[in-house]
Amino acid sequence: MNRIRQVARLQMPAWPQIVGWTWGITAVAFGVNLLSVMANHDPGDGVTTTGGVVSLCGGAIGMATVSVTQIFPYALGISVTRREFYLAWSLLAVVQSVLYALVLCLLRAVEQATGYWGWGMRFFGLPFMDDANPVLLLLGYAVPMLVLTHLGILLGTLYLRWGTTGVLAGLTLTFTALGLAATLITWTRQWHAIGRWLLDQSPTALLAGWPVLVAAAFAVGGYRLIRRATA
């Protein structure tokens, strides 16, 4: 464990950039959203939900990918094993997801306390989380963040194994598979059943349970890819 912690510290010099870019992009999205809400504001309107917090997702994916592709060749060069590297980056993903989730909980609280930033703009809160207890709220932010960070790591390992071609081929295959699945569901008229199944799930299962499985699947994939990667 101590060794994994030391390997994880390889990312430390990159933190100002990782945190800066991720939250910088989110801040810009927040500003643009707020201006747009102000421009269209009518005091009779209720609260507008922008969903702009997804901008944080892009940052989380991109930064994870860059950090894997930048630091892995160096780690291998100073006698770190691929396994140690992957475990360290997985650990970083967990720590980062929890920290980001705490910040998001805080921003959501500020959002509610300021009457949605004074202009009725819901940016950080999400409507289906309104009834969540504090623990579920934290998980509801942290677990999806964990999924996205592991997706970023997975894309990074794809790049390490097969370069840009690997990433593009991977994305193409994924979109093809998703498109075919959607077609199949439409063909067999199953959307209604899927909708019902989703409604039957508890908030905990939807926000934390199933996403944890997705994160685990991404982690298994990334781990298998990196074990044969060369710098």
- Binding stretches for another protein (CB under 8 A): 3, 6-7, 9-10, 13-14, 17, 70-71, 73-74, 76-84, 227-228, 230-231
32 vs 95, which CB is nearer to another protein?
95
Q: What is the nearest approach in angstroms of another protein to the Cβ of residue 98? A: 24
Identity of the residue, 95 or 182, whose beta carbon is nearer to another protein in the bound complex: 95
CB of 231 to another protein, least distance (A): 6
CA 77-79-84 angle, 5° bins: 110
Task: Please give the Cα distance from 125 to 146 (Å, whole number).
Answer: 18
- Name the minimum Å distance from CB 147 to another protein: 25
- Kindly provide the residue ranges of all beta strands, DSSP E only, lying in the chain, ordered along the sequence: 48-49, 121-122
Instruction: List CB contacts of 159: < 8 A, sequence separation 6 or more.
Output: 65, 68, 69, 166, 167
- Report CA dihedral (78, 81, 84, 87) to the nearest 10 degrees: 120
Question: In the complex with another protein, which residue's Cβ is closer, 11 or 50?
Answer: 11
- Least distance between another protein and beta carbon 4 (Å): 10
CA distance linking residue 9 with residue 22, whole number of Å: 19
Nearer to another protein, 76 or 136 (CB): 76
